[in-house]
Structure 1
Amino acid sequence: MAEHTSTIRDVVVVGGGAAGLSAALTLARARRAVTVVDAGKPRNAPAGGVHGLLALDGVPPAELLARGRDEVLGYGGEIVTGEVVDVSCASYGFMVVLRDGAVLPTRRLLIATGLVDELPDIPGVREQWGHDVLHCPFCHGWEVRDRRIGVLVTDPMAVHKAFLFRQWSSEVVLFAGDHTLEPEESVKLDALDVPVIAGRVARLEIDDGRVRGVRLDDGRIVAVDAVVVATRMVARTGPFAGIGIEPTRHPAGAFVESDAFGKTAVPGVWVAGNASDISAQVSGAAAEGARAAQQIIADLVMDDLDRAVAARADAPATEGEGR
Structure 2
Amino acid sequence: MTTDTDRHTPVDAIIVGGGVAGLSAAVALGRSRRSVAIVDAGDPRNAPAAHSHNYLTRDGESPLELVRLGRLEARHYGARIIDGVADSAIRTESGFEVTLADGSVVRGRRLLVTTGLTDVLPDIPGLADRWGRDVLHCPYCHGWEVRDRAIGIIGSVMVGHQAQMWRQLSERVTVFAHTATELAAEDVERLTARGIDIVDEEIARIDVENDAIVGATLVSGRQVRLDAVVVGPNFTSRADILVSLGLATTDLVMNDHVLGTYIESDPVGATSVPGVWVAGNVSAPMDTVIAASAAGVKAGAAINGDLIEEEVRSAVQREKSTAS
Shorter-chain TM range is over 0.9
Counterparts of 1:170 and 1:257 in 2: how far apart (Å)? Answer: 38
SS of 2:51's partner is coil
Residues 21-60 of structure 1 mapped to structure 2, 5 A cutoff: 21-60=23-62
Distance 1:12 1:89 in 2: 12
Deviation at 1:242, TM superposition (A): 2.3
Cα 1:158–1:181 shift into 2, 3 Å = closer
Contact 2:124–2:206 under 8 Å retained in 1: yes
Q: Which residue of 1 aligns with 2:127?
A: 125
Which residue is 1:310 aligned to?
317
Residues 188-214 of structure 1: per-residue CA shift (max 9 Å, x gap): 101110010011111101111110001
Deviations 1:110-134 (CA, angstroms, capped at 9, x unpaired): 0100100001111111111011100
SS of residue matched to 1:49: coil
Equivalent positions of 1:83-122 (< 5 A) are 83-122=85-124
Q: Secondary structure at the match of 2:64?
A: helix
Q: Distance in 1 between matches of 2:183 and 2:78?
A: 55
1:320 maps to which residue? Answer: none
- 2:300 alignment partner, one of 274, 293, 297: 293
Counterpart in 2 of 1:201? Answer: 203
Which string of whole-angstrom CA distances, capped at 9 and with x for unpartnered residues, describes residues 165-198 of structure 1? Answer: 0010000011111544201101110111001001
Structure 1 partner of 2:137: 135
Sequence identity (%): 43
Q: TM-score, normalised by structure 1?
A: 0.95
2:238 aligned partner, one-letter code: R
The answer to whether the Cα contact below 8 Å between 1:4 and 1:102 also exists between their aligned partners in 2 is: no
CA distance in structure 2 between the aligned counterparts of 1:140 and 1:234, rounded to whole angstroms: 21
The 8 Å contact of residues 249 and 262 in structure 2, kept in 1 or not, is answered as yes
Q: Is contact 2:8-2:105 (8 Å) kept?
A: no
SS for the counterpart of 2:141 is: helix
Structure 1 residue 158, shift from structure 2 partner: 2.7
CA distance in 2, matches of 1:268, 1:139: 33
Structure 2 Cα separation of the partners of residues 51 and 102 of structure 1: 37
Q: What is residue 321 of structure 1 aligned with on the other side?
A: none
CA contact (8 A) 2:21 2:280 kept: yes
For 1:266 and 1:74, locate their aligned partners in 2 and report how far apart those are by CA, in whole Å.
30
Q: Secondary structure at the match of 1:46?
A: coil
Summarize the alignment of residues 148-159 of structure 1 with structure 2, pairs less than 5 Å apart. 148-152=150-154, 154-159=155-160
* Code of the aligned partner of 1:122: I
CA shift for structure 1 position 161: 1.3
* Alignment deviations for residues 222-269 of structure 1 (CA, whole Å, 9 cap, x no partner): 001000000001110112222112111121100000011111011000
Deviation at 1:316, TM superposition (A): 6.5
Range moving further from structure 2, 6-15 or 275-284: 6-15
Look up the SS of the partner of 1:108 in the other structure.
Answer: strand
- Among 66, 70, 74, which residue is 1:72 paired with? 74
- Distance in 1 (CA, whole Å) between partners of 2:7 and 2:229 is 47
Could you tell me which residue of structure 2 aligns to residue 267 of structure 1? 274
* 5+ long unaligned stretches in structure 2: 253-257
Q: Contact 1:19/1:290 (CA < 8 Å) preserved in 2?
A: yes
2:134, 2:227 within 8 Å by CA — same for their partners in 1?
A: yes
SS in 2 for 1:315: helix
Q: For 1:241 and 1:190, locate their aligned partners in 2 and report how far apart those are by CA, in whole Å.
A: 45
Shift of 1:5: 4.2
Paired residue for 1:219? Answer: 221
C-alpha distance in structure 2 between counterparts of 1:160 and 1:15, whole Å: 32
Could you state the TM-score of these two structures normalised by the residue count of structure 2?
A: 0.95
CA contact 1:15–1:113 (8 Å) conserved in 2 = yes
Unpaired runs of 5+ in structure 1?
318-323
Q: 1:5 to 1:38 in 2, by over 3 A?
A: closer
- 1:95-150 superposed Cα distances (whole Å, 9 cap, x missing partner): 10001111011110001001000011111111110111000000011000000001
Task: Tell me how far 1:310 sits from its aligned partner.
Answer: 1.1
How far, CA to CA, are the matches of 2:117 and 2:57 in structure 1? Answer: 25
CA contact 1:118–1:233 (8 Å) conserved in 2: yes
What CA RMSD, in Å, does the superposition of the two structures yield over aligned residues? 1.2
Task: From the CA coordinates, give the structure whose radius of gyration is larger.
Answer: 1
- SS of 1:105 mapped into structure 2: strand
**Corresponding residue for residue 255 of structure 2:** none
- Pair 1:238 & 2:273 matched: no
Secondary structure of 1:177's counterpart equals helix
Task: Check conservation: 1:4, 1:103, Cα contact below 8 A.
Answer: no
Report the Cα offset of residue 30 of structure 1: 0.5
